[in-house]
């Protein structure tokens, strides 16, 4: 029988580390929609389910450590060299590997805020220092201010586009101006977890920028548009030398065999999957229009979610949605993020939003 209290010291930084807050989910047997985690509301395609079933018989074996078939398939899809693609357990894990590969203790990472809540965690665990640059009132990244925040200690700048949780994507002209101002030895991570949902004609072609700027790294995922959130697979695209460093920092055998084959099958079925993405975008358009008709001033989301800048009323609004049968994601003191899901689910949120609309 174990007795006593562990006296093993933990890193002091962990005491101040913000906990990642997962989206709320319904209790077992309860009837409620989950719009709190930016998940794809559609189940996997039959061809993807078949690939998962085929892969399951081999789970007694270690997966391909470098996810060779997957990285080659991604490289063909994007038109880049296979050695430039590094797979990992979701883009957030790959971000951690990027930071581990390039940051020494005390180096700075410039990032927008509010943005993806895993950023402060990943930066702290990499022994780096956060430099937060406020997002504009319209939910857009302030790229000039981010460029101005770069110092000789800066090693990485995080550009979340579309920005999670506010939704807008950066635009080509402003991003090109920003990249021209960033020193070539500073890594610029373009976090494009929601890129498949972007319809802004002024959004940048990140692959073209990657080809032009050796210090640009792309992060993408199969969790959102491809609907594989439960399998955890994403990837980075970087110049070969940098990619090799990221690969060295990665968890060995991190991406499971099941996840690898499911992602390859998803790429093969991409045309069919993107029809679903179009449906989500159409629902996003409907939700934004309805909220604006109610009097809300909401950012122009280019992702699979919308943002309500509720400030101190965020938690109260989320509680009202939960009582009505839909879980959303409150960010206390800032606002509420609502994932675009089933029309019936977003109808519930719109009814609650009508009761809270600006008067």
CA distance 99 to 178: 21
3-state helix, strand and coil shares in percent for the chain, rounded to the nearest 5: 45, 15, 40
pLDDT at residue 272 tops 90: yes
Share of the chain above pLDDT 90, in %: 91
Q: Model's pTM, two decimal places?
A: 0.94
Residue 131's pLDDT is 98
pLDDT digits (tens, 9 = 90+) for 296-318: 999 999 999 999 999 999 999 99
Span 194-205, mean pLDDT?
98
How confident is the model over 90-139, as pLDDT tens digits? 999 999 999 999 999 999 999 999 999 999 999 999 999 999 999 999 99
In the prediction, which pLDDT does 29 show? 45
CA angle (290, 294, 299) in 5-degree steps: 65
Confidence of residue 204 (pLDDT cuts 50, 70, 90): very high
> pLDDT per residue over 153-174, tens digit each?
999 999 999 999 999 999 999 9
**SS3 track for 262-307:** HHHHHHHCHHHHHHHHHHHHHHHHHHHHHHHHCCCCCCCCCCCEEE
Q: Tell me, what's the pLDDT at 19?
A: 73
Residues with Cβ within 8 Å of 28's Cβ and at least 6 positions away in sequence, in order, are none
Rounded Cα distance between 206 and 231, Å, is 25
- Structure-block tokens of residue 10: 């933990």
Beta strands at 305-308 and 335-339: parallel, antiparallel or unpaired: antiparallel
Q: Is the peptide bond before 165 cis (omega within 30 degrees of 0)?
A: yes
Give the pLDDT of residue 213: 98
Query: What local confidence, expressed as pLDDT, does residue 32 receive?
Result: 84
The pLDDT confidence band at residue 24, using thresholds 50, 70 and 90, is low
- Residue bearing the bigger pLDDT, 2 or 151: 151
Whole-number Å distance between alpha carbons of 122 and 140 = 22
Q: With cut-offs at 50, 70 and 90, classify the pLDDT of residue 30.
A: low
Q: In this predicted model, what pLDDT tens digit does every residue of 206-257 receive, in sequence order?
A: 999 999 999 999 999 999 999 999 999 999 999 999 999 999 999 999 999 9
Query: Any bridge partners for residue 329, and if so which?
Result: 337
- At residue 132's C-alpha, the angle toward residues 128 and 135, to 5°, is 150
Q: Is the pLDDT of residue 180 over 90?
A: yes
Exposed e or buried b per residue across 49-78, where buried means at least 16 C-beta atoms within 10 angstroms of its C-beta: eebbeebeeeeeeebbebbeebbebbbeeb
The answer to whether the beta carbons of residues 115 and 143 sit under 8 Å apart is: no
**pLDDT for the residue 35:** 97
Domains of the chain are 21-38+271-356 (3.90.1150.10), 46-269 (3.40.640.10)
Contacts of residue 19, defined as CB under 8 A and 6 or more positions apart, other chains included, come to none
Paired with 168 in beta bridges are: none
What pLDDT score was predicted for residue 28?
A: 45
């Amino acid at each position: 029988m174990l007795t006593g209290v562990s006296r093993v010291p933990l890193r002091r930084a962990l005491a101040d580390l913000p906990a990642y807050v997962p989206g709320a989910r319904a209790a077992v047997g309860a009837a409620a929609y989950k719009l709190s985690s930016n998940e794809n509301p559609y189940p996997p395609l039959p061809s993807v389910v078949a690939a998962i079933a085929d892969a399951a018989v081999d789970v007694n074996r270690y997966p391909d450590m470098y996810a060779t078939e997957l990285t080659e398939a991604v490289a063909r899809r994007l038109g880049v060299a296979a050695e430039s693609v590094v797979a990992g357990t979701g883009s957030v894990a790959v971000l951690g590997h990027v930071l581990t590969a390039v940051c020494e203790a005390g180096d700075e990472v410039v990032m927008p805020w509010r943005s993806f809540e895993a950023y402060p965690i990943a930066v702290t665990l990499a022994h780096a220092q956060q430099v937060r640059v406020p997002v504009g009132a319209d939910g857009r990244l302030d790229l000039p201010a981010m460029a101005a925040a770069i110092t000789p200690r800066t090693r990485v700048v995080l550009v979340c586009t579309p920005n999670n949780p506010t939704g807008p994507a950066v635009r080509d002209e402003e991003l090109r101006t920003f990249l021209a101002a960033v020193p070539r030895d500073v890594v610029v991570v373009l976090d494009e977890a929601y890129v498949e949902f972007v319809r802004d004609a002024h959004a940048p072609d990140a692959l073209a920028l990657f080809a032009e700027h050796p210090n640009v790294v792309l992060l993408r995922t199969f969790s959102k548009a491809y609907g594989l959130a439960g399998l955890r697979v994403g990837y980075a695209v970087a110049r070969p030398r940098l990619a090799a460093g990221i690969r060295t920092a990665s968890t060995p055998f991190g991406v499971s065999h099941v996840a690898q084959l499911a992602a390859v099958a998803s790429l093969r079925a991409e045309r069919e999957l993107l029809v679903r993405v179009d449906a989500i975008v159409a629902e996003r358009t409907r939700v934004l229009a309805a909220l604006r008709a109610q009097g809300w001033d909401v950012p122009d989301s280019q992702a699979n979610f919308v943002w309500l800048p509720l400030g101190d009323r965020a938690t109260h609004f989320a509680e009202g949605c939960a009582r009505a049968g839909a879980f959303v994601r409150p960010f206390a003191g800032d606002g509420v993020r609502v994932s675009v899901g089933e029309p019936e689910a977003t109808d519930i949120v719109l009814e609650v939003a009508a009761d809270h609309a600006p008067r």
